[in-house]
Structure 1
């Protein structure tokens, strides 16, 4: 018999120290699980057993080495903090998506990725309520799954209604687990809405897109609940309009602030804010600096009161970005010459700043710059 002390699982369960990305940002892939035909879950943990602490609904920012380039992406944690020895994120393959396809095709058990976090304020823990309504569309299911798993594991018998919209029955992520949770816990109800049948199943539940009639039938008391919404932007916009029209108290409406692809709306909002600052400042008091992107050899002028990301957008230069708030780390870049004033929200480590890295979404030049992009 192998002594328990020699069993890796037993060693992992002995972990008592919390995971600290500042001290060790490397996470090893322990498992890859197929959720649907185009959705996979990746289970991660540090090489030295550590415990993960986060609020359900939060996300991690990852650094992936793809084709000789470092690419940053934010992914919501789909696992539950009640199971702290590992952390999981779940990804849908996107046609032409460089990261989602790389993850599906390349990342395997034993591989290592780097991560920062957890981050984000989209969580039921910040908005405690007696009754919740979780509304998700497509891959927006992941933060809702973390919340649902947390309440289920804690056995609190919290009144949770979960309504998920999918293209077909074959596209319902976590379907088996959600149906099992609903069977075991009478206070948890799961409803799926499908746009169409799948090849192997005729859908007998609500069909089409989520409507007020469908929501009313599934959750008659939805107006009494704290509502969390996550999914593609058109889905979230439609849900918000539907709830407003239904007289829902929008103070109890919460939606995920990230769209994990390109976020033109977030960039637009940040640019508009920068433009307002520019309009308010006398032209004679604003210094303008030269910003050179070394790899693409593009050059632009950036006022001292405008972020590099906003100036790049105005110049027609597309840079990787997501939150535009200094939170996710997607726009992290090396500044090889010059200095910036940066006010971030946790998306970069001090040691990275010391090494010359900066978040372009919240960095304003204080001199001419050379950026390694």
Structure 2
């Protein structure tokens, strides 16, 4: 694997930096400085993603013929790194990185024509209907029924931890179409509009907020919701195959660039905060040692991601390696937010869930301390979603190590 950038790559890096300097305006920067999770409210997200779309960069991993950027592996690496180091918003993955690959691989021509263009342009917003009460990491145990009635399925049950369901126009959803055989054999994959009669969305409050516009997760209830059979992806009862394919994209993201940005923020905070000895916290030997440990972990993950994604550029699937990336990436995210919380010290103590993002509401401490506590609480989820750390270890044990 050749890690040296060519003159063309360096020119591309300069191009990306110049574009960010212009497109990433002060309004977006101000909002992102107080983001607890790297995302904005829907208006901010759409604004940013449409800028990427207009530049042709919103879908780096899509095929060129469907609107992808056509990046080489090195350009993809440079693009992700520059975006992360600049602290730009993460594009919402639900449509672009999760639903779209499944539609591309298993959808009908009609489904591709209907869904891929508005996903690319961010005109249609998606949410994920996977987890249910009692069926989280053990996703194959899901029980939400979809009973066939003529040309429709009739859905009854609920989905939980549904990120941004209140913003979504459509949901990609796993449903139980058969109880015969193994649990995995009776699942189907449906696409459904969130405006259908019988759908009810209820917000789930979390420790990290919500601040205004940042309500994140919900429970979605289905009461005799009719979904056309034509909205099914692939074959009936084969949805588990499509779900596993999608999870490779959900888990197999590049974590290292974002982790580098998170570490930079911790260093900036530590340069402003004081240690117990009275000097800058960044000069404290114990704190510096912990920063160094995390930097080593991030660089190791970066090298691993480069190996994995260089193979992907050659046409290889991420496969079970996605579990290694997810495990290391999510646990390192949590470690960095823990260190940031320690760095701001007592400024994290007066965190009030409903007012932390209100800069004129008498919030204690400097601006850099504002999002630290909500980010810490928000990142407790990372070792649970997309399969808990325990599930990832089981996958690695069986499919990577062959034990």
TM-score by length of 2: 0.23
More helix by share: 2
More strand by share: 1
TM-score by length of 1: 0.24
